[in-house]
Amino acid sequence: MSTVRTDGSGTGRSPLLMLAVATLGFAVNFWAWALLSPLGPRFKELLELSASQQALLVAVPVIVGSLGRIPVGALTDRFGGRVMFPLISAITIVPVLFIGLFGQNSLAALLVGGFFLGIGGTAFAVGVPFVNAWFPPERRGLAVGIFGAGMGGTAISALTTVNLVKAGGSATPFVITAVVLAVYAVVSWLVLRDAPGRTIPTQPLVARLAATAKLSITWQACILYAVAFGGYVAFSVYLPAYLQTAYGLEQADAANRMAGFVILAVVMRPVGGWLSDRIGPLPVLAAVFAVVALCAAVQAFTPPLMFLGTAAFLTMAAALGAGSGATFALVAQVAPADKVGSVTGLVGAAGGLGGFVPPLVMGFVYGRFGSYGVGLALLSAVSVLTLLLTVTAVRSLTRRQAAPSSRVRSA
């Protein structure tokens, strides 16, 4: 497909500055995206919600944020991160303020607000193509991995939301987040510039999405990310319940251990990108899924939490974080330059949605067998199958497209 080039409007801007501002934007938007989850128990009590209604309330922003990455990634290919980062941040202010000031008195209002709050979760699909264009191929894995660490913005919400409600009232965390989003929208508009020589697609949005869906790398990376990032999401959501049920831990202890899992995974994401720059994403991904398969198999037997069980979970956290970073290093290497955003949107959606399947499976398995062992054994089997996909089809595709990927333009 024909492409045009930007006029070099990014000349004079530092790639590291662009990376820092983009990562900050990812973290801020993810902070907003995750505001409802910590307040789920509070809304359940105040509005007398059932367990399924509470789950729906928390799930709506995540689902919308995951699926919304598909069109937002394609729009970023066309209009660039300099437009899309301020736009997404500004739009997200509206549902944040709506929920904070008006939308906490009924489930219907919360669901409407939560639906549009999901827009904040699409920021991931803006940042990957934006950052990718600013760095040469040999540094993209680390750069995109550092950007991906902005997913730690969800931890800001987890650590501050409930305390802010207690300190200042139900609207406080939402108003503060809206102010931060507004400041970021202005700063990003003034500071961000798209990389000079960025490839701009000329096809219509629907045609580009259709073309992206036909790429082998799109669906292969979707599977890799659904297992790697989806596994991270699943454990970050379900690990406290698992630890309380399987090991009898107190809620606070289980939550602290989950926080350790999340932090390690976030830290390892740029490490996975850096390793991909050094030795290639395929060896990293192969090692990741081998490690996850082994650790899940060990944990299927519910070993003592100290030290084998803890070691198994922390090792899985490190592997899943590194795998998330390596997946987008692979996308940066193989995807056509004018479709990085579109591919990122689809892959990002797969990762977000992939996090919903394992908790459902684990809950079903425990209800049927009274043990989580079968569910963890299934995770091990899925990891083995993903490992086989990596060393066969993905490796073959990477070799076939080595020449085209080497021609991807960079800053």
Same-domain pairing of 115 and 243: no
DSSP code string of 117-142: HGGGGGHHHHHHHHHHHHS-GGGHHH
User: Coil, strand, or helix at residue 52?
Assistant: helix
Q: Report the pLDDT value the prediction gives residue 338, as an integer from 0 to 100.
A: 82
The rounded distance, in Å, linking the Cα atoms of 317 and 309 is: 12
Same-domain pairing of 230 and 154: no
Judged on CB neighbours under 10 Å (0-12, 13-18, 19+), 174 is buried
User: Coil, strand, or helix at residue 200?
Assistant: strand
Residue 110 contacts residue 99 (beta carbons within 8 Å) = yes
Ordered alpha helix ranges (H), 169-280: 172-191, 205-213, 216-247, 251-279
> Is the model's pTM score more than 0.85?
no
Same-domain pairing of 230 and 273: yes
Judged on CB neighbours under 10 Å (0-12, 13-18, 19+), 138 is exposed
- In a 13 Å sphere around the CA of 354, the CA atoms on its Cβ side amount to 23
- ∠ CA 297-231-252 to the nearest 5 degrees? 90
The rounded distance, in Å, linking the Cα atoms of 238 and 335 is: 33
Same-domain pairing of 220 and 119: no
Same-domain pairing of 63 and 74: yes
Same-domain pairing of 251 and 239: yes
Same-domain pairing of 120 and 197: yes
Residue type at 203 in one-letter notation:
Q
Could you read off the pLDDT tens digit of each residue along the chain, which spans 411 residues?
435 444 344 455 799 999 999 999 999 999 999 898 888 888 888 998 887 787 788 888 888 988 999 999 989 999 999 999 999 999 999 999 999 999 999 999 999 999 999 999 999 999 999 998 999 888 889 999 999 889 888 888 878 888 899 999 999 999 999 999 999 999 999 999 999 988 788 888 888 888 888 999 999 999 999 999 888 878 877 787 788 888 988 877 887 788 888 889 989 999 999 999 999 999 999 999 999 999 999 999 999 998 899 999 999 999 999 999 999 899 988 888 888 888 989 998 998 888 777 877 877 888 888 888 998 999 999 999 999 999 999 999 888 776 444 444 433
Same-domain pairing of 251 and 390: yes
Same-domain pairing of 99 and 243: no
Same-domain pairing of 179 and 313: no
- Domain-terminating residue out of 202, 231, 251: 202
Q: Report the pLDDT value the prediction gives residue 69, as an integer from 0 to 100.
A: 92
Judged on CB neighbours under 10 Å (0-12, 13-18, 19+), 12 is exposed
Q: What is the number of H-type helices and E-type strands within the chain?
A: 20, 2
Q: What is the CATH number of the domain that holds 144?
A: 1.20.1250.20
Same-domain pairing of 73 and 196: yes
Same-domain pairing of 247 and 163: no
- Domain-terminating residue out of 148, 176, 202: 202
DSSP β-ladder status, 199-201 and 3-5: antiparallel
Q: Is 275 left (phi over 0), alpha (psi -120 to 50) or beta?
A: alpha
Domain count, the chain: 2
- Domain-terminating residue out of 152, 185, 202: 202
Domain enclosing residue 257, as ranges: 203-411
User: Coil, strand, or helix at residue 201?
Assistant: strand
